[in-house]
Amino acid sequence: MPRVRLPVRLPAPFAGDDDRALVARFAAARDEAAFAALVGRHARMVYGVCRRTVRDGHLAEDAFQATFLVLARHPARAASAASVGGWLFGIARRAGLASRRHEDRRSRRASSRQADVPTPRPADFDDLLRVLDEQLSALPDDCRAALVACFLEERTQDEAARQLGWSLSTLRRRLDRGKELLRARLTRRGVTLAAGLFATGLARSASAAVPVRLLDATTPAAGGSPLAAALAAEAARTAGVAVWVSAVAGVAVVLGGLAAFAGDRPRPAALVPPAPQFVAAPIPQERKPWATVTGRVVYPGDGELPKPRLVPAGMIKDADFFTPAGELTYGDVVIDPKTRGLANAVVWLRPDSDDPSAPFPVDRIHTTYRDAKPREHRVACGRGGFAPRVVAARAGDTVRFANPTGVFFNVHYQPAGGDDPTREFNLVLRRDQRPGGEEQTYATGPLPVLRSFDLVRDAIHPWVTGYVRAFDHPYFAVTDAEGRFTIPDAPAGAWRLMAWHEKVGWRDGAKGRLGERVVVPAGGRLEFPALVHDSDLWAGRPDEP
């Protein structure tokens, strides 16, 4: 395989690609040019973190190589993070800390041999930078991603927003929040900085030039020095990432290299791998090309949650039915107060393409679902309005509206954008009031593939609203009351993750129409513990979401 020179300036073919696109390209085809572009894009930030974490320059270079070794081994983990740059920052910190433990042990051995030789202390400002890194690593992912992009990597706000896939206002909001959180954490540590010095401290890492020889040696195939390989394994373990079996197979080589590296000195205990825990060697099996995608969609920020929007008492018809317990809310924004989980958001996968109408490849659908029979979805009218409020279905499915109550409900079904007036209907449903009377129902015809959400309204009770969307595949879900979702048997590979909510539309605004690039691992699980449904439309209306 030819060697690829790793430039600090990105090659022209990748200049317009964001980090997740490069990671997806590398994960799908082991594209070394894409990997080289990622290294070039983040090299100065990673090298600066490593240099501040460990004092010895050679050990800092080993930590640098270890960071990109973890990226080469676990691209799916990087792709699923809030940002690739923020994820690399965290890995660089862990690799640097592991390297510093090695450095401290070596220093103690040297000082025991030369007790009278004083150990030089680092400069005070370097100590401050180490504290900055420590506190930066503890920030929420979105805030850290904004600070890393704008300060540690010295991007303009426009460049940072484009690379992160956010709107400019979203970036600025997260940047301001991150700076305030970081300043508060530093104050608790007894560190107070003026604004100019604060920014200077954050940007200091960008001033360290990365040696060209180090860039040339950092390729996915090179593997790095023996110490770098050991540091990569330790950084991956502490990050909660499963280390590849090939890394375990290389432990003997790593230990042999460490002996040569350390001479006749004692082997560092932290670099010795734990004893194998295997009871028996399982028969190797092919990894299934399917995975489960899970997560939780959450309301952005950590401030006060918006209050439910109340329906004015004067417009409530059939008040005895709807408000026996008091006030009535629109129900358009339901947020779990404990987890900030956002209910009734729709999450789905679509092809990794900039064409929003690209069809889902039929041959990538799990056989369990490929030939599944159409199903009927029931939507009941009741005190809570339409239940469920949001229906996600497959093309060919039908939706049956049913009214088991004694109150008249209007069901006005409106196709998105008026694109198919033959699907529109407007009728009134009510249960038969005679003894033993049955509920009245009405079903749609088989749904076509919908590129947007059909709207359902009740003109009698204007706060009652519902939505319907039909997909050409089964990889979708509607979040529950705590914002959770599960998409089983998703095909491995690079896809776009989409999220939509009725109140603000696409996650991350207009850019969200194309979705977020993700890499689904074969035979595993892709989890999004906090998929922030950010949008400029949430801002400025704390009492009316």
Interval 192-247: pLDDT, tens: 655 545 555 555 544 457 887 787 777 776 666 778 888 888 877 766 543 333 33
How far apart (Å, rounded) are the C-alpha atoms in residues 240 and 530? 17
**Is the confidence at residue 43, as pLDDT, over 50?**
yes
User: Do 186 and 321 share a structural domain?
Assistant: no
How far apart (Å, rounded) are the C-alpha atoms in residues 175 and 162? 14
Q: Which of 505, 432, 422, 515 is nearest to 467 (CA)?
A: 505
DSSP code of residue 521: P
**Assigned domain for 3 exists:** no
User: Do 352 and 489 share a structural domain?
Assistant: yes
Q: Which of 112-126, 185-199, 308-322, 392-406 has the lowest mean pLDDT?
A: 112-126
Tokens of 213: 């020889």
**Assigned domain for 330 exists:** yes
User: What's the domain range around 446?
Assistant: 373-472
User: Do 383 and 257 share a structural domain?
Assistant: no
Interval 231-288: pLDDT, tens: 888 877 766 543 333 333 333 333 333 333 344 444 444 444 444 443 444 444 444 6
**Assigned domain for 278 exists:** no
**Assigned domain for 2 exists:** no
Residue pair 396/374 in contact (Cβ under 8 Å)? The answer is yes
**Is the confidence at residue 490, as pLDDT, over 90?**
yes
How far apart (Å, rounded) are the C-alpha atoms in residues 78 and 199? 27
**Assigned domain for 169 exists:** yes
Chosen domain end from 442, 472, 502: 472
Q: Domain containing 439 — which CATH number? A: 2.60.40.420
Q: Which residue has the higher pLDDT, 324 or 530?
A: 530
pLDDT, residue 113, reads 56
User: Do 482 and 458 share a structural domain?
Assistant: no
pLDDT, residue 260, reads 38
User: Do 178 and 239 share a structural domain?
Assistant: yes
Q: Domain containing 329 — which CATH number? A: 2.60.40.10
CA distances from 472 to 393, 485, 486 (A): 9, 19, 18
- Of 189-198, 260-269, 415-424, 496-505, the range with the highest mean pLDDT is 496-505
Rg, C-alpha atoms of the chain: 28
Average pLDDT over residues 167-177: 87
Average pLDDT over residues 400-427: 91
**Assigned domain for 280 exists:** no
Annotate 152-176 with DSSP letters as a single string.
IS---HHHHHHHHT--HHHHHHHHH
Residue-averaged pLDDT of the chain = 80
User: Do 350 and 487 share a structural domain?
Assistant: yes
Q: How many domains are there within the chain? A: 3
Query: With bands split at pLDDT 50, 70 and 90, how would you rate the model's confidence at 509?
Result: confident
pLDDT, residue 138, reads 83
CA–chain centroid gap for 231, Å, is 25
User: Do 244 and 305 share a structural domain?
Assistant: no
User: Do 524 and 448 share a structural domain?
Assistant: no
Helix, strand and coil content of the chain, in percent to the nearest 5, comes to 40, 20, 40
pTM given for the model: 0.53
User: Do 354 and 402 share a structural domain?
Assistant: no
Q: Give the type of residue at 271.
A: L
**Assigned domain for 284 exists:** no
Cis peptide before 118 (omega within 30 of 0): no
> pLDDT over 70 for what percent of the chain?
78
**Is the confidence at residue 119, as pLDDT, over 60?**
no
User: Do 484 and 461 share a structural domain?
Assistant: no
User: Do 130 and 180 share a structural domain?
Assistant: yes
How far apart (Å, rounded) are the C-alpha atoms in residues 513 and 530? 20
**Assigned domain for 6 exists:** no
First-to-last alpha carbon distance for the chain, in angstroms, is 55
User: Do 468 and 480 share a structural domain?
Assistant: no
Chosen domain end from 472, 488, 515: 472
Chosen domain end from 472, 496, 526: 472
